Copies of this chain bind each other. A is one copy, B any other.
């Protein structure tokens, strides 16, 4: 232990046990000579006593024991170790946006991560607030070739999560727009984020071609949020003719389209149709994509593609100072894209998802027979169903809890705009689906009215 800390401890004990408030301490010179220490050492000990509140210092007078009230100042005796929180363990969890554990390429990721953490990485600097350029370049290449998005690395912003990214957009556009048109039913997160930034929400209904454009024109919104490739949650695709009409609308009214292409990579029935952004010649589109649905929600990486004028606004914003994703994750993902592994991975999981989707569909037919109908299927990681018979939904929910089956209801994510049970298959391995559906069918029949 350094000398000045030894001295500090000794003096502290003295103050607590032998001194009273207002007592004068010997001068630094005197203490130094009594203990045969340097003046610097004594000065350090006194400074620490002062900083920790044991003494007061009066210039040209000296050091005095202070009147600090110690009644609350008890030392921490031992570290409390709390038990692990007890979590509810579900036997069967139909979570619609979960991926089964076998999806993530763990070994490859480990190898690429080891490759990424090398001497060329500088952990001492603040990262690029827009995302590392290497990763942005790979994302731009992928989006251009696979999704027909027109962009360069300079248009990409790498973010940590969808709500965060959407919040950045809401902030950037706050001075230009006051309301946002949204699909109804539609993704509640976007509505919530924009509401929190003070926007009004105009709900526009969905027809067989996606967002109803005539209804949109009747609103005051010049800003619209859509999921054109795979409408959330109805799965409708907006045909190109309507996309072009929507772009023309944006051009005419000076509007902006926020295109959320959240799971187009996963389409296993249709060939994914190119992005709306790719049709846009007027810089009217903001494009959103994510690695959460296709690779892992635990990586915390999504991205947006901004037109040049919005990149300028972003670069001059407060938020541009703060990088959103750790260097190692960005660099590993860059290598993953660069090596062509992402495209391979997508082919693999599209096949896997199609298989699981078909197994789930067949099992639902086998066990529920004609007591249900399918609302939407063929895309994403779930099949939405509704009863075709009189069913007590409250009872079903209760039975699910009792039997540790976790169900998800469309009304919870659409402010009640849409009713369906969302049977997610993403979290199950292929051979687990039948057992889960069988267990579900047992509570299903018990809930009949």
List residues of A whose CB falls within 8 A of some B CB.
5, 8, 44, 47-48, 50-54, 56, 66-69, 72-73, 75-76, 79-82, 84-85, 97-101, 103-104, 106, 109-110, 113-114, 117-119, 121-127, 133, 137, 140-141, 144-145, 148, 150, 152-154, 160-161, 163-164, 192, 196, 237, 239-244, 247, 269-271, 273, 278-279, 281, 295-301, 318-319, 321-329, 332, 426-427
A287 to chain B, nearest CB (A): 14
> Is there an interface contact between A119 and B145, defined as CB atoms closer than 8 Å?
no
- CB neighbours (8 Å) of A101 from chain B are 122-124
Complex Cα gap A51–B121 (Å): 45
Complex Cα gap A164–B98 (Å): 26
- Do most interface residues of chain A lie in helix, strand or loop, or is the interface mixed? loop
> Is there an interface contact between B237 and A297, defined as CB atoms closer than 8 Å?
no
**Among B79, B127, B145, B154, contact of A141 (Cβ-Cβ < 8 Å):** B79
Closest 8 CB pairs of A and B: A53-B240, A104-B123, A99-B124, A298-B327, A123-B296, A68-B241, A110-B117, A53-B241
> Is there an interface contact between B80 and A241, defined as CB atoms closer than 8 Å?
no
A269 to chain B, nearest CB (A): 8
Complex Cα gap A271–B8 (Å): 10
- Contacts A82-B153, A123-B106 given; indicate if A72 touches B279 (C-beta within 8 A): yes
- Contacts A124-B99, A125-B98, A164-B322 given; indicate if A278 touches B76 (C-beta within 8 A): yes
> Is there an interface contact between B5 and A298, defined as CB atoms closer than 8 Å?
no
Complex Cα gap A296–B152 (Å): 29
**Among B79, B104, B150, contact of A144 (Cβ-Cβ < 8 Å):** B79
User: Could you jot down 11 A-B contacts, CB within 8 Å?
Assistant: A51-B239, A51-B273, A72-B244, A72-B281, A80-B144, A101-B123, A104-B123, A123-B298, A124-B426, A299-B328, A326-B329
Complex Cα gap A98–B127 (Å): 11
A38 to chain B, nearest CB (A): 15
